[in-house]
Structure 1
């Protein structure tokens, strides 16, 4: 298989907050947001403003996001992490500092034996990020 895997994150009603947080953290552009109320199918009024589908990105980095539909509960867990390779030490430091705010550091940002600067952070939404800056 050739190509990029696009992570799709689902939230319990706070997708709009997550989109703003992540777009700001990664200095990415919000490329589109559609609510359940804008969709062409019957939607209960309490779900009308929830995010049915959104996408944001920067270059090849793309993430898609949605809220769960009514009655479908999403549980945060450690079954997935998102690996992100960064281009500069300044970039990894900035993203690390932002993600750890109100989150949990699983591995401090540090130089590693595999010749990278690396950190593992579970952000305030429960998403786990593997941040890697390969050294030359």
Structure 2
């Protein structure tokens, strides 16, 4: 097993918006974008423009994204949080500010007892992020 877990985020008809947002926030590129309409299996016509699979990449960071298949309900909850280990004070501040703009701060960005700057955010798509910068 590799030493990295790749998060796979699933959205209800909002994957393209999420891809654009995350690509901008992380200054990353969107790759391997495929819609259900491009799939080699039958799909309902209303799913043609929905994202079957895509990746957001920057350096070693990889996030996979898709829309849920029509008819499969999506339940957004607080059972998943993604941890980002930041490389600088300016990076963690940028990510925190960008995600809070249309999202919600669950824990203010602050110095912690474990020697890091840390904040927790729920972004505009309901995804929770733990932002950590070990000093």
CA offsets, 1:87-128, max 9 Å, x none? 010000000000111211110001111100000000010000
CA offsets, 1:53-81, max 9 Å, x none? 00011011100000000111111110000
- 1:11-50 matches, within 5 Å, as 11-50=11-50
Q: Post-superposition, which runs of at least 4 consecutive aligned residues in structure 1 deviate over 4 A?
A: none
Q: Distance in 2 between matches of 1:99 and 1:56?
A: 16
Q: Distance in 1 between matches of 2:74 and 2:84?
A: 23
Number of aligned positions between the proteins:
135
Q: Distance in 2 between matches of 1:105 and 1:33?
A: 30
Q: Distance in 1 between matches of 2:101 and 2:121?
A: 10
Q: How far off its partner does 1:2 sit?
A: 3.5
Secondary structure in structure 1 of the residue aligned to 2:102 = coil
Residue in 1 aligned with 2:120? Answer: 120
> So what's the TM-score if we normalise by structure 2?
0.98
- Unaligned stretches of 5+ residues in structure 1: none
- 1:41-60 matches, within 5 Å, as 41-60=41-60
Q: Distance in 1 between matches of 2:57 and 2:104?
A: 24
Q: Distance in 2 between matches of 1:2 and 1:22?
A: 24
Residue in 2 aligned with 1:78? Answer: 78
> So what's the TM-score if we normalise by structure 1?
0.97
Q: Distance in 1 between matches of 2:131 and 2:101?
A: 15
RMSD over aligned CA atoms reads 0.8
Secondary structure in structure 1 of the residue aligned to 2:52 = strand
